Every structure is written in C-alpha cells, then in structure tokens.
Amino acid sequence: MEIQWHESLATGVDTIDNQHKEIFARISGLVNMDIENLDPEKKEVELHKVLRFLGGYVLDHFKTEEGFMTQYHYPDYDSHKKEHIEFLKSYSSLVRMFEKEGATDLIVTATQNQAVDWLVKHIKGTDQRLGAFLKSI
C-alpha cells in the first residue's frame, strides 16, 4: 500500500491543504510499511507513533475545518462534522485494540486501511466541497 499527497486531493484552501499534506507525510511511514517483513518492535513503534499523531494533529485539523465552517456559516456543517466524529470513533476502537493486543498485523492493516481509505474518501468528497464553498465566498 502506498500513500502520497497528490494535486487531485487539493481543496484550494492553503491552511487545509497544508494540514492534509502534513497528515499524509506523517502516516506514510506506517502506511508504506511492508508488515510481512518487519520486526515486531519496529511495527509497535511505528503504530504507536501514528496512533498518537492521529489522536493529536488530526483532531486539531478537524477543529480547523469546523472553525471555518462555523465562521462562514457552512450549510453542510452537521454532516461534515458527523464524518469527523465517525473517524474518531473508529480511531478510538483502534487504540483500544492496540492497548489490549499490541501491534498485531490485524491492527496495523486496519489502521493502514482506516487512515488511507477514510482520509482519501473524506478529502475527495467532503473536504473538497467545503473548499469549494470557502473559495466561493
């Protein structure tokens, strides 16, 4: 699995795009990792690092977007925020799994999928719609 920020993910709002770029850069270590050929300690360290990052920076990033939405009275605030909450719920269950079982291949793969699939889908639809709205006002 590979992950890289690409122009097709741009929202057109620099603050948001720069944060998305940072997220991609920070999770790429885990996402691009070949779990079959990695020693367990490295897996544990990488996963822990990414989970901590997701719970911190990504939370702040959501707040940035939600701040824009409130400030400019974005009409789709509720549904956008709901997606952020869904992400945080899945994130919390990953953390609970990790705390209980450590960096099993299942958790590493689930985090990779969660991070990539959710983020790409959310950015390409929901965040880009927000970007288009912010640019239109």
Binding site for Fe ion (CB under 5 A): 65, 127
Report the C-alpha gap between 8 and 73 in whole angstroms: 26
Report the C-alpha gap between 21 and 45 in whole angstroms: 22
* 46 vs 127 by CB, closer to Fe ion: 127
We find the least distance from the C-beta atom of residue 136 to Fe ion, in angstroms, to be 17
SS3 of the chain: helix, strand, coil, percent, to 5: 80, 0, 20
Report the C-alpha gap between 111 and 26 in whole angstroms: 13
We find the least distance from the C-beta atom of residue 69 to Fe ion, in angstroms, to be 9
Report the C-alpha gap between 22 and 87 in whole angstroms: 18
* 46 vs 65 by CB, closer to Fe ion: 65
Closest-by-Cβ residue to Fe ion is: 127
Structure tokens at 79: 């549904």
Residue 124 contacts residue 89 (beta carbons within 8 Å): no
We find the least distance from the C-beta atom of residue 75 to Fe ion, in angstroms, to be 15
* 44 vs 55 by CB, closer to Fe ion: 55
* 65 vs 103 by CB, closer to Fe ion: 65
We find the least distance from the C-beta atom of residue 83 to Fe ion, in angstroms, to be 6
